[in-house]
Amino acid sequence: MSPVAHIPSHRKPRRTASSTRALRAGVTGGILSLAVAGTTMQATAAEPAAAESTLEMPTVSDALTDTAAKTAAATEEAAFGYELQAQQDKAAAQAAKDAKKAKEEAERKAKAEREAQRKAAAERAAKAKEEQAERERASRSQERTSLNTRSTADTPATSSGTSTQAPSSSSSGSVSTLLSFLHAQVGKAYVPGATGPSSYDCSGLTQTAFRQINISLPRVSQDQSVTGTQVSLSNVQPGDILYWGSAGSAYHVAVYIGDGKFIGAQNSGTGVVIRDMSYDMPTGAVRVL
């Protein structure tokens, strides 16, 4: 036995002829396949290049141009419409404002005219009232003059040929005393229910005044308005009691002092004052002297 018989051999096994042919055929087929694939890839790569060489950029059509132009025109027209509407709204607002101002001015003028007419009417009424009062005073004065004339004519003559007035009652002196007292009370306060000496109400003043000449009057206006003899306002004389309201239910009294005037305790705002009869024309009068 050989000494190296147990050592494995490193020599490659020998290939058979059939395996060698198969190997060669596989290699040859692979090479052919690679060649065909390369050719195919080159052809495929060449096609896009060819296509790319013939590709052109698209152009904007006329229809698209017309659409853009129409859109721009419509936008411009809409903007013009908005501006026109804004101007119209502004003009309408200004017109409404002017109309309102004109209306207010017309109403102001109409109000001023009405006020002027009312004032003129009031002035005419006051003037007419004053003229009426003046005529009544003149009428009373004329009546007094006529009475005095008749009284003088009826007076008997004395032995010397001159005439003397017949003596009258003591009413003249009483009236003078009454009026003097009333004038002294002017300016004093009005206090409801007061009868003097520092304050009065209307009937309290007349009662206290007539007490100075020993004439006793009832306390309240209602009763004083029916005391004595009723006389018309056209025949009223100094010392007569004037009353406001109906006789028997009068709400205010005062004393006539002549020349169309009276003295009375009017109210808490004025106190005892002298007033013209035209200021507040009384309803009637009574004579107790």
Residues 280 and 247 in one domain: yes
Tokens coding 164 = 């003397």
Cβ-in-10-Å burial (0-12, 13-18, 19+) of 178 comes to: buried
Global confidence as pTM: 0.44
Residues 175 and 118 in one domain: no
Show the CA angle centred on residue 195, arms to residues 193 and 198, nearest 5°.
110
Query: 192 pLDDT band (50/70/90 cuts)?
Result: very high
Q: Which residues have CB under 8 Å from 273's CB, separation 6+?
A: 186, 187, 263, 264, 266
Question: In this model, does residue 241 exceed pLDDT 90?
Answer: yes
Number of domains in the chain: 2
The answer to the question of residue 184 being in a domain is yes
Exposure string over 57-70, b if 16+ CB within 10 A, otherwise e = eeeeeeeeeeeeee
Residues 182 and 278 in one domain: yes
Residues 141 and 212 in one domain: no
The answer to the question of residue 23 being in a domain is no
Is the dihedral angle over the CA atoms 215, 221, 223, 226 positive or is it negative? positive
The answer to the question of residue 61 being in a domain is no
Residues 179 and 105 in one domain: no
Ramachandran angles phi, psi of 162, nearest 5°:
-95, 160
What's the gap between Cα 88 and its chain centre? 33
The radius of gyration of the chain from alpha carbons, rounded to an integer in Å, stands at 68
Residues 140 and 190 in one domain: no
Q: Which range has the worst mean pLDDT, 5-19, 193-207, 272-286? A: 5-19
Task: Report which of residues 25 and 256 the model is more confident about.
Answer: 256
Residues 198 and 278 in one domain: yes
The CATH number of whichever domain residue 239 belongs to comes to: 3.90.1720.10
Residues 203 and 276 in one domain: yes
Please give the Cα distance from 259 to 276 (Å, whole number). Answer: 8
Cβ-in-10-Å burial (0-12, 13-18, 19+) of 255 comes to: buried
Judge if the upstream peptide bond of residue 218 is cis by omega within 30 degrees of 0: no
The answer to the question of residue 234 being in a domain is yes
Instruction: Tell me what the pLDDT averaged over the chain comes to.
Output: 77
Tokens coding 39 = 């050719």
Amino acid, res. 215: I
Query: 77 pLDDT band (50/70/90 cuts)?
Result: confident
Range of the domain at 269: 171-287
Residues 131 and 179 in one domain: no
The answer to the question of residue 249 being in a domain is yes
